[in-house]
Amino acid sequence: MPKKRQALVEFEDILGACNAVNYAADNQIYIAGHPAFVNYSTSQKISRPGDTDDSRGVNNVLLFTILNPIYSITTDVLYTICNPCGPVQRIVIFRKNGVQAMVEYPSGRGSPGTAPSVGGGASPWGC
């Protein structure tokens, strides 16, 4: 949702979504130093452009997009953040338009439940 300053987050189950909305109702959430608001979407699933079949299954690669990093983003930093969630197999960093990184876990390990735990404040760098 570029230029709308909005994002969609798909949780593994409805309980995770309910917990996020309930937590945000009582606690101010900040992203990159700006207040964020959490609410339910009318969408039941996030689909990608051109994705007519949603049978892609669980992915073992996480994509990180880091906006306005304050500190240098290195493979060591990403490894420190991601390894507690499961054994990291490979990390690739792209610096073409900002900073993006892909972190790969061994097939079927690490990444299915990783996104909520990584997104749960594991980055103390404020980026």
Spans of all domains in the chain: 8-47, 61-104
* pTM of the entire predicted model: 0.46
What is the separation of C-alpha 126 from the centre of its chain, rounded to a whole number of angstroms?
Answer: 14
Domain covering 8-47: architecture: 2-Layer Sandwich (3.30)
Half-sphere exposure of 99 (CA within 13 A, CB side): 14
Q: What is the largest CA-CA distance in the chain?
A: 39
Q: Give 1-34 pLDDT, tens digit per residue.
A: 455 667 777 777 778 888 888 888 899 888 777 7
- Say if residues 103 and 62 touch (Cβ distance below 8 Å): yes
- Say if residues 71 and 77 touch (Cβ distance below 8 Å): yes
